[in-house]
Every structure is written in structure tokens, then in C-alpha cells.
Amino acid sequence: MLAAPTVTLLVSENFVSLEKVTLQCSVAAHHWKQEAQRQRLAAKEARAALKVSDAGTPTPRFVWSKEASLELLRYVKEIKEEHNNLIKRTPGFIAWTPYFLKCEADRGDYPLLIGIANDVILRRYQALMNMWKVVFDKLSHSGSGGLYEVLDKEHLSETIWDFINAMHGDNAAANAHGHAELDDDLGALLCEDGRGEGREARTGAEAELSQEASQLLCD
């Protein structure tokens, strides 16, 4: 009869220990859940910050400087001279654009062009030629007195203008030789065509030069 209280006491102590273990497990689970939630929120905030950073820092775009554009013109001029010499020595027709795109000229003298593909260089060259042509056309109507105003309006530097003039200023196709407006008088039109008095018809050599220049601009 005296053993019963001892058994009851042991059961009671075991029950209390079980409650403590259960409580500790519950607290640990709660803390783990809170930590997991905190980590998820931190990761979400980090992703949001990264998106804002990417949106606020656009990929830089290459901008052609005046120095790089001048270097480009010298590069194109060198290849064009090689192309012309090759045409003189080689029978048949050698198209300018495919020749330029396949050309592997040494870039050692053109450090600002290192790493820039030939197709990119060609597009920039064509853009410069278009700008030059716009300025040339405007000056042909307004006169050279408005040169600086036109250059500023068309965003073309005087140095580049002068360089292209040296390259193509005497090129009949580049500066639209033979072009006449519809309201010009008939005598002027005949002179431009080579049939009027006071001007001889263009020779075969000049016509060939004009055709070559047209290829340069249109290829």
C-alpha cells in the first residue's frame, strides 16, 4: 500500500518533463518559422533592389566621338585606295561593299577602331556621307556664307566636313554633278548634259569616274 504514492509521483514527473519537451519543440518550431519567413522577405527585397538597379543603370551605348569619326574616315580612305589599285590590276568588277566587309586591314594605326566590326564602321561611314551630302546640298542653294550655321544644324564638325571634301569634293557622283532643278532654264539643262554651247561633253574617263563614285555611295 505504501508503493502507490511513489508510482504516482514518477508518473507526474514524467508528465511534466514531456510538457517541457513539447513546449521547447513548439518554441523552436516557432523560431524556425520566423527565421524562414525573415529569409524569404530578405530575398524578396534583394530581388526588388536588383531590378531597380538594373532599370536605373541602362547598358552604355557606344557614341562616336569626332576623333573616332576622323580615324574611321582615314581607315575607309586607305581601304578605298587599296580597292582602287586592285581594280586597276584585276580584270572584272570588284564590288566595294563586300570587299570592305571582308577586309582585314591592320588596326595598329587606328587604335580607336580596335574591336569595332567592319559592318559597324561602314554604317557610320554611310551616316557621315549622308550628313555631308545634306550640308553640301544646302550650301549649293544658300552659298558658303552659311557654312557654320548649316554644320551646327546638321551636327557635323568642320574638321569632318573638310576631310570628306578632300576625299570626295571632286567626285562627280558624290556632289551630284549633273543634277538640275526642274525650274532651271533649258540652256542650263543642256549645258549640264554636255550638249549646250560653252561646255564640252564629259569624256569617257570622266563618265567612268562618275560610275565608280556612284558605286562607292550606293554599295
pLDDT digits (tens, 9 = 90+) for 100-135: 999 887 788 899 999 999 999 999 999 999 999 999
- Residue 122's nearest CA partner among 139, 154, 93, 99 is 99
36 — pLDDT class (breaks 50, 70, 90):
confident
* Judgement on whether residues 133 and 214 belong to the same structural domain of the protein: yes
- The answer to whether residues 27 and 80 belong to one domain is no
Q: Are residues 210 and 119 in the same domain?
A: yes
Domain that holds residue 27: 1-61
Q: Are 167 and 175 in contact (CB under 8 A)?
A: no
- Burial class of residue 217, CB neighbours in 10 A (0-12, 13-18, 19+): middle
Residues 23 and 85 in one domain: no
Distance CA 155, CA 149 (A): 10
Please state the pTM of the whole predicted model: 0.53
Distances (CA, A) of 4 to 8, 48, 144: 6, 66, 123
Half-sphere exposure of 35 (CA within 13 A, CB side): 6
Q: What is the pLDDT of residues 178-209, one digit of tens each?
A: 444 444 444 444 444 444 433 333 344 444 44
